[in-house]
Each structure stands twice: as structure tokens, then as C-alpha cells.
Amino acid sequence: MPIINIVGLEFAYDGGEALFSNVSLQIDTAWKLGLIGRNGRGKTTLLNLLLGTLPFDGVVEVPVPLGFFPYKINDQNRNTLDIANEIALFEQWQLERELSLLDVSDEVLTRSFATLSGGEQTKILLATLFLNDRHFLLIDEPTNHLDLEGKRVVGHYLSGKSGFILVSHDRALLDRSVDHILCINRGGIELTHGNFSTWQLNRRYQEQFESTENQRLKKDIERLKDNARRTSDWSKRTEKEKYGHGRVDRGFIGSKAAKLMKRSKSSQNRQQKAIEQKQQLFKNSEVTDQLSLTPLQFHSSRLLDLEEVTVQYTGTPLFVPVTFSVNTGDRIAFCGRNGCGKSSLLKLIAGQKVPYEGRFRIPASLKCSFIPQDASFLNGNMKDFAVQRQIDEPLLKAILHKLGFSKQNYEQEMAELSAGQKKKVLLAASLCEQAHLYLWDEPLNYIDVISRTQIENVLLDYQPTLIVVEHDEMFLENIATKKINLSV
């Protein structure tokens, strides 16, 4: 199959640090490639560089036509089938076959695109783009509007395709659908054969090796520095002998001191060069720092009770009434299709005004920490945000640093942060807060796979009481002690 060839790629946004420096890479267009990395590392930028929409230095050779998801649609009020015909050439039965694989009814083709749900729009565009023969697809986060079942369906669909790059933070989706992983690290690009779990296992082995190697290098550097200090002290003492007490031959001692000083400088230069060479050997891969959390202990093991509770905005219940209690140490996941009322029920527990029926009892002294689904409201600077939330600013910044924030990110206005970075601000704020109960509404939206692993680990390490709405299948399997399905 044709090869995408990248040689000596250099790219930086105006006024920013280099995202790519001397990157060389070959991508087989038959691969199913998962593209991962911390938020802000340049995943979408790399797709745009392949598309040729950004200026760069170096060589990028793309020998095949490209398709891009999400496809830009100028007028969404048009008929869905007409929009699909604009994207690709196909017989209608071909598109209907693809839609059947994605659990989408043919009926959507007769409706205007604007009336479709976000999940239906995603599936229509993916199915149509794959009908473009011999195109290599660049797929940028296709699951943002999909619930858990929708992600499973798309994962199985992509597993039957080939010839694409998939940018995704969903680890289960990557495991189902890709055969190579391309990770953009702090120090470069790393290509691995296999799915996400294969990459993660290799990464753990590599981290263990690099940690051991870095410890050895640190010891070597300290030893060289000690040698350099001793050599310098020795030459200085010899020089001082010229000015000792009593009658001395300063000419002889001065000549001897000069020779020793010259030898000392030469030795120090060699040692400094050795130090610099060893410092350059330190690995520059991503480090998964351990996060911390300080949950409060409630005076009772029972935190709250709901009996036959449902939410209704227009007189019609959003879901079948549910009955459950929350006890200390529970990590409860609300599950169900999009629109079934998961977020509304979480907001009700968080103390927001939500119309409901049933009996809901929550102690007035119970302290909750809430992460809303939408982070777009964030604005202003980090310092004012910390004051407003009554959290420690240095602690907030320390957590964000562990989640991949740079110094430049701290200085930005929060409105300028990416969607993933804004979500990390809300996550970090919640981790700063001491609470009896943590209420998180889709906390992993737009969050990179490395940070997701960190969030999992802190929950397993500190075991706070938690109620979460989340569509990351692997996250729920790893952390949830109980699942409550909200059925319509």
C-alpha cells in the first residue's frame, strides 16, 4: 500500500514553542492507526499538517486522497441524502448497508441533517466518508456525541475498516478498532504496533527501564560533580601556598601552581563535558505523576437515600423511578442512553433546582464537590478562579502540572484554553476540595488517555464516595462499584 512519508517536519504556532521538531515518520495507508497524546500536544495539528492546511518546514508526502471527520457542512437544513451525495459517490444501497452496520435506520436519509441527533450525524458522516474509494481517512474524536452503546457500535464498525488515523481518548474504542498506536510525547513521536493496551503495557515496561536508567545517570552526574569540586579545591589550595608564612620560593611555587591550575581546568572541562553528555541521556517521555485527593469522612455510613425518584420537566418522567442509597466508599455510575436524565439526576443530588417526583433525603451537613458536564463557562485567570472556589492556588497548579499543563497554560485566560484543558481545571479543582461526596458529570470529556489513567488511579488509591456520569467503558469497568441504569 502507498506510504505517507514525513521527513524533518518542523512546526510551531506563532509565538509558541515548537510542537514538532525534526519529526520523521512513515505511515502505511493500510494501517488502522490510533493517534494519542496529552491535550495540547498537537494531535489535531498533525492531521491539519497532513491535509496541508498549515505552513511547515520539512517534507510531508501524501500519495493518496484524504478524507476528514468531522466533515464541514455549510447548510445543515438540507436533506441528509443530498449531503451524503456531496461527500462521496455511491449507490444508495451501499450507504444503507453501512448505516445498518452502525445501527442507524434508513429513515434518517429522508430527514434534514439538522434534525438528527449528534450521534446520528456522526454515524452518517463516518459511513459516507468510508464510501470514498481509496481515500485515507483522518478521524478526529468521533465519539464526542455518543453514549456508551454508540461508542461500542462505532468501535466494531471501525474494526472492519482499514486505512485511517483515529484521534480518540476512548481506550476501549482504540482497543477495538486500531492495529497501530502513534503517541505524541513531550520529547517526540512514538510508534507502536498493536492496540492501546499493547502500547500501555510497553509504556509501563519502558517507564520502569527509564526510571532505573535515570537513577543511575543521576548518581554518575553527582559523582562527576563531586570530582570537579575536589579538583577545583585542590588547585586553589596550591595557588594559596604562594602566600604562605615564612620564606618561600614564590617563583617555583607559582610555576607549579600554574601548571596544576592548567591541569585542573582541563580536568574540570572534561568532567563538565561528561556531565552534559549524561544529562542529555535523560529520557523525555511522558511521566504519569500520581495525583492525590482528601475525601472527608461523614459521621454516618449512609450519605443519602432516593426512593422512587424520577425527573420530569414537562410532566413526563425522563426515566423509570429509581430507588437506591449511597454509602461511604460507593462509586456509583449512572448509565443509560443520551437524554435519559443522568445529568439531571446528578444535578438534583448536587442541590440544583431540578423538578422531580419521589422521596429524596440528603443531610444538610453533607459536603459535595460537583463537576458539571459543560466547562465552557470558565473565564478569567487561574488565581481568581482559585479564590472564587476557595481552593489553594499552588495545589491547583501542582495538580494541573501533573495533568500535563505547562507554565504558559497557567498564564492564559481560561476562556482561551482548549475544551480538554478547561475540563482539567474543573477536575483539578475538585481534587483540591475536601468533600464527603464527589459528583462528576462526564469528567473525562476531551481528556487525554494518559490523564484518564491518572484519574482512575487516584480514585482507586483514595476510594472517595463518588457518583459519576461517564461514557468511557474502560473507566467504568475499572472504578465503578455499582451501576444504576436509567431506563426510559
Determine the length of the chain: 488
Q: Strand 164-167: give its sheet, edge to edge.
A: 66-69, 136-140, 164-167, 32-37, 180-185, 188-193
Residue 136 pLDDT class (50, 70, 90 cuts): very high
CA–CA dist 454, 175 (Å, integer): 19
- Tell me which of 339 and 98 has the higher pLDDT: 98
Which of 356, 345, 343 lies closest to 312 in space, CA to CA?
356
**What 3-state DSSP class applies to 210?**
helix
Alpha helix (H) ranges present in 57-195? 80-87, 92-101, 118-129, 148-159, 171-177
Burial class of residue 477 in the structure, from the number of CB atoms within 10 Å of its CB (0-12 exposed, 13-18 middle, 19+ buried): exposed
* Predicted confidence (pLDDT) per residue in 375-431, tens digit: 999 999 999 999 999 999 999 999 999 999 988 888 889 999 989 999 999 999 999
Cell 553527582, residue?
Answer: 222
One-letter identity of residue 145: H
Q: Residues 293, 458: contact at Cβ < 8 Å? A: yes
* Predicted confidence (pLDDT) per residue in 341-386, tens digit: 999 999 999 999 999 999 999 999 999 999 999 999 999 999 999 9
Q: Cell numbers at residue 45, please?
A: 495539528
Q: Residues 445, 427: contact at Cβ < 8 Å? A: no
Q: Residues 108, 81: contact at Cβ < 8 Å? A: no
* Predicted confidence (pLDDT) per residue in 166-208, tens digit: 999 999 999 999 999 999 987 789 999 999 999 989 888 877 7
* Predicted confidence (pLDDT) per residue in 78-117, tens digit: 999 999 999 999 999 999 999 999 999 999 999 999 999 8
Q: Residues 80, 113: contact at Cβ < 8 Å? A: yes
How many Cβ atoms are within 10 Å of 38's Cβ, its own excluded? 23
Q: Cell numbers at residue 149, please?
A: 452503546
Q: Strand 57-61: give its sheet, edge to edge.
A: 18-28, 3-12, 57-61
**What 3-state DSSP class applies to 262?**
helix
Burial class of residue 295 in the structure, from the number of CB atoms within 10 Å of its CB (0-12 exposed, 13-18 middle, 19+ buried): buried
Q: Residues 432, 392: contact at Cβ < 8 Å? A: yes
Burial class of residue 159 in the structure, from the number of CB atoms within 10 Å of its CB (0-12 exposed, 13-18 middle, 19+ buried): middle
Per-residue exposure over 402-440, b if at least 16 CB sit within 10 Å of its own CB, e if not:
bbbbeeebeeeebeebebbbbbbbbbbbbbbbebbbbbb
